[in-house]
Amino acid sequence: MKTSLKFIVGLIVFIQALAICHAQQIVPIDLSKKANDIIVRSVSPFKSIDIEIINRLPSQDYQVIVITKLHEIETLSFPNSRTKADEEQIKCDILLNLIESINAADEESKLPKLIGDLEKEMNEVSIEPSENTPSVSNCITNYIEMAKVVIASTMIKVEDVTLNEGEDLEITIIRKLDDGTSKVWKVVYTTQKRGKWLTSWGFSFIGQVFNVQKLYFTKFDTSSYVITKEENRGKLIFAPTVFFTWMPTKNLSRNFSLSYTGGLGFDMEAPTVFVGGSLTYNQNISIAIGIVAHRQEFLSGEFKENQIVKENLSKDQLHNELYTVNPFVSLIFRFGENPFTNKEK
């Protein structure tokens, strides 16, 4: 009874093992993957291979060729029977194959790996001359020199260019393809900007130092009028101003910066022009001093002080407007909007 039970169990195990050995292997071939490459996959022997070709175009015809090839069995050889000449010849063959692969490459994306493999082989091979096989050692030497030439041919040296601040260098590489189209690479090298213009609003005060405005009026005296000088109590003239200041890039991160500045007064009917230097604190607050060209009123050349006239003359009749130069000082703020404009409620 025990013998029969053992036989039955053994038979079941054998049948299951046989079934496993003959189980099918499903191997898909995906046509959506990159073509023109040889893909090698491992499968188990003694099992049925179910090959499925997927992602084929329904409107296209395909030719499927199935060939079974027998692995060639290596020849018998003694351990360590390979001579130094054989090893050096193999190295020569590897170098030559990599050199030819680089020369035959049709896509730039393949070159980094090929060049890396070639440089690795160049570093690993020995080019010490062999007394017994000088021709093989010479082949390694020659191929290493050839490899250096081939690697150098994969590079194009562009002339040295020095960029200043605020300049860009644009390089375009074009390769014509066999179908008449072009492959284009464009690279732009850029430097930091030279600086930037800051627009700020200034509370400017013009000092009547170089040219003092003198105003006159006609004072009634019995039956006539006398041209009389007004007392000038205002030594400073206020002028709201918009300033434009050049800030070099190197000064943008500094707390204090000295710069040239220029400004315009808001009265366009009587333009006022400011030119000077400014000391700026963190780009937003500045103090500026310089000279300003502005319009002032002076007694007309046909009149003089204390002259007697028969009628009461107006201010416009008594004066001429002339442009003069005076110093100014200004406190400047970098607001986000014009502070001198009245906002409508």
Write out pLDDT tens, residues 105-164.
888 888 999 999 999 998 887 555 555 445 556 788 888 999 999 999 998 888 888 888
Q: What is the pLDDT of residue 260?
A: 94
The answer to whether 27 touches 53, Cβ cutoff 8 Å, is no
Across the chain, mean pLDDT equals 81
Q: What is the pLDDT of residue 19?
A: 53
Residues 335-343 have a mean pLDDT of: 73
Q: Which residue has the higher pLDDT, 278 or 59?
A: 278
Which tens digits make up the pLDDT trace of 229-271?
787 777 888 999 999 999 999 898 899 999 999 999 987 778 8
Q: For residue 298, list its beta bridge partners.
A: 320
The answer to whether 263 touches 274, Cβ cutoff 8 Å, is yes
Q: What is the pLDDT of residue 345?
A: 44
Please name the residue that has the structure tokens 């400073």.
Answer: 236
For 54-58, 90-94, 245-249, 329-333, which range has the lowest pLDDT when averaged over its residues? 54-58
The rounded distance, in Å, linking the Cα atoms of 344 and 272 is: 27
Q: Which residue has the higher pLDDT, 338 or 9?
A: 338
Q: Strands of 36-79 (E only): list them.
A: 49-54
- pTM for the model stands at 0.54
Q: What is the pLDDT of residue 49?
A: 72
* Segment holding 207, helix H or strand E: strand 195-207
